[in-house]
A and B are shown apart, each in its own frame.
Chain A
C-alpha cells in the first residue's frame, strides 16, 4: 500500500491529531500512556469513526451514496484543526493518487473517504485498506511522539508491536460496520485537539 506509506505526499508528518497538546499538558508521558492513547482513539474514538467512513466510502458506488459519505465525513470533524487535518490530507491524497485512478473523483474529500473511494476503484479489499489505514495512523502518531517526547526507537517499536492486536480487531469490526456505528468516547482527545490551537509553541498543524 504505497498510498498509505509515510512516503506518499499527503503531508501526514505535519499533523499530530491532538497528540502534541496531550504531551505538552502532561497527559501522555510514557510508552504505556502513548499506547493507551492511540489504542483508545482507534477503538472508540475519532479514528474508529474514520474506519466506519472508509468502509462506507469503499462500498459507495452510486453518486448519492458518495455525496453522503463526503458530507458526513466533513461534518464529523471535531475542531478547526481536525477539519483542516482530514480535508487537506484528503485533497492531497486525491491529487497524488490520480495516476492510479481511472475515474474522476471529487477534488475535495476527507482523508478516510478519499482512501475508501480510491481503494474500491483499484480493487483493493476493504479489509486490507482498513488495516493499512490504521497502521498508517499509528505510525504517524509514533513519528510525532518521537519528536515530542523522550521515547526512543525501542519504546516506539514496543508500542507499534503492542498495537497490532487492536489494529486487527478494529479493522475486523469496521469491516461489517454501517453509518449506525459511528460513536466516539474520547472526549479528552477531542479537547486536546482543540487545546492545540492555543498551545504556545507548536511544531505540528494539529
Chain B
C-alpha cells in the first residue's frame, strides 16, 4: 500500500510503502494451526503446504518488491504454547537507495513455553545509498526455543554493484521471562566501502550472517551442538555457547565472499541448529 510522506524541498511528495502483518499459531493435538492472521498494505503472509504437520511454515512477502527510505514494515509472529512455527521470506529483501528518510523494519517474535520458532528469512541485500533501521524484538517464555538467522549481503557483486555508502542498523533485543538476555547491535554506516575493507570488520568480504539459538540453559543438546557448529563455520566464522541468567545462547557469526558461499555454510549450520528438521524451500540448496 502506498501512502504519502512529507513533501521534499522540490515540492514532490514521494510515495512510501507501508505494511503490517501479524500471525499467531497454536497447537491442536499434534498439529500447529493458524489461530489469527492480520495483513495490511504491502505485507503479506502465505502458508505453503508442508508434510510435517507438527509445524507451520509462514512465508513473508513484501509486495512492494523492496524497501526504500521512509518505508515502514511491521512483522509480528506468535508461537503459542507447544506449537512450532518456521518463518521465512519469499525473496531476498532489497534495501534500495534512499532518496530521503530511513526505512523502518520492525519485527516482533513471541515464543510461549514449549513452543519453537525458527526465524530464517532469506538474505537482506543492501544497495548503495540505502538507509534502513531494523529492530527485532523477541520475547521467550519458559522453555520456549528460538533460532534466528539473518544473512546480509552488501551489494550484488554479480551485477557489478558495490555499496559505497549508506546506513544499515540492525538491533535485536531478546527477553526471556521478561529479562533482557541478548542484544545485537550491528551497524554499518557512512563510508561502508572502506569500512568493509578493515580487517576487524569484513576484510573485504561482502556477505555475513548472524545465527542465534536460544534455549533454556538446561537444554541437553546445546553442548553437543557447539563443537559441530564450530567445525561448520570454518576459518571465517566463529561460534560460542554461554549462559546469561537461565538462558543458554549459542551464537555464530559467519563471513563469506559471496551470498552463494555464505549459503554453503548456513544450510548445514541451520540444519544442525534446527535439529535436522526440513528447512523451507527457499533455503533448498
Tell which of B179, B180, B182, B253 touches A190, judged by Cβ atoms closer than 8 Å.
B253
Tell which of B201, B203, B235, B240 touches A197, judged by Cβ atoms closer than 8 Å.
B240
Q: In the complex, what residues of B have CB within 8 A of residue A186's CB?
A: 198, 200-201
Q: Are A187 and B180 in contact (CB under 8 A)?
A: no
Q: In the complex, what residues of B have CB within 8 A of residue A33's CB?
A: 199
Total B residues in contact with A, Cβ cutoff 8 Å: 36
Q: Are B244 and A191 in contact (CB under 8 A)?
A: no
Minimum C-beta distance from A142 to chain B (A): 16
Assess A188 versus B183: contact at CB under 8 Å? Given A74-B244, A194-B238, A194-B240.
no
Q: Are B200 and A188 in contact (CB under 8 A)?
A: yes
Q: Are A188 and B244 in contact (CB under 8 A)?
A: no
B169 within 8 A of A: yes
Q: Are A198 and B244 in contact (CB under 8 A)?
A: no
Q: Indicate with 1 or 0, residue by residue over A76-90, a CB within 8 angstroms of chain B CB atoms.
A: 101111010000000
Tell which of A83, A182, A190, A191 touches B236, judged by Cβ atoms closer than 8 Å.
A191
Q: Are A45 and B200 in contact (CB under 8 A)?
A: yes
Chain B interface main SS type: strand
Q: Are A75 and B183 in contact (CB under 8 A)?
A: yes
B122 within 8 A of A: no
Minimum C-beta distance from A80 to chain B (A): 4
Assess A76 versus B240: contact at CB under 8 Å? Given A37-B199, A41-B200, A198-B230.
no
Residue of A nearest to B230 (CB): A198
Bound-state CA distance A193–B169 (Å) is 22
Bound-state CA distance A162–B21 (Å) is 51
A139 within 8 A of B: no
Q: Are B179 and A185 in contact (CB under 8 A)?
A: no
Q: In the complex, what residues of B have CB within 8 A of residue A40's CB?
A: 198-201
Q: Are B179 and A188 in contact (CB under 8 A)?
A: no
Bound-state CA distance A78–B250 (Å) is 10
Q: Are B199 and A194 in contact (CB under 8 A)?
A: no
Tell which of A37, A44, A192 touches B187, judged by Cβ atoms closer than 8 Å.
A44
Residue of B nearest to A48 (CB): B187
Minimum C-beta distance from B187 to chain A (A): 3
Q: Are B186 and A184 in contact (CB under 8 A)?
A: yes
Q: In the complex, what residues of A have CB within 8 A of residue B237's CB?
A: 191
Q: In the complex, what residues of B have CB within 8 A of residue A49's CB?
A: 185
Q: Are A75 and B240 in contact (CB under 8 A)?
A: no
B188 within 8 A of A: yes
Query: Which residues 151-192 of A sit at the B interface, judged by CB distance below 8 A?
Result: 182-192
A25 within 8 A of B: yes
Q: Are B181 and A75 in contact (CB under 8 A)?
A: yes
Residue of B nearest to A80 (CB): B242
Q: In the complex, what residues of B have CB within 8 A of residue A37's CB?
A: 199-200
Residue of A nearest to B188 (CB): A185
Minimum C-beta distance from B40 to chain A (A): 27
Query: Which residues 140-191 of B sit at the A interface, judged by CB distance below 8 A?
Result: 169, 171, 173-174, 179-183, 185-189
B265 within 8 A of A: no
Query: Which residues 188-212 of B sit at the A interface, judged by CB distance below 8 A?
Result: 188-189, 195, 198-203, 208
A95 within 8 A of B: no
Q: Are A183 and B198 in contact (CB under 8 A)?
A: no
> Could you list 19 examples of A-B contacts with CB < 8 Å?
A22-B200, A27-B199, A27-B203, A28-B199, A36-B198, A36-B200, A40-B201, A71-B180, A75-B174, A79-B251, A80-B240, A183-B189, A184-B186, A184-B187, A186-B200, A186-B201, A187-B253, A189-B200, A191-B255
Q: A74-B244, A191-B238, A194-B253 are in contact. List 19 more A-B contacts (CB 8 A).
A: A22-B199, A22-B200, A27-B199, A33-B199, A36-B199, A45-B200, A49-B185, A75-B173, A75-B182, A76-B183, A79-B251, A182-B185, A183-B169, A183-B185, A186-B198, A187-B186, A193-B240, A194-B238, A194-B252
- Which residues on A are within 8 Å of B, measured CB to CB? 22, 25, 27-28, 33, 36-37, 40-41, 44-45, 49, 71-72, 74-76, 78-81, 83, 182-195, 197-198
Closest 9 CB pairs of A and B: A183-B187, A194-B238, A80-B242, A182-B185, A79-B240, A191-B238, A40-B200, A189-B200, A75-B183
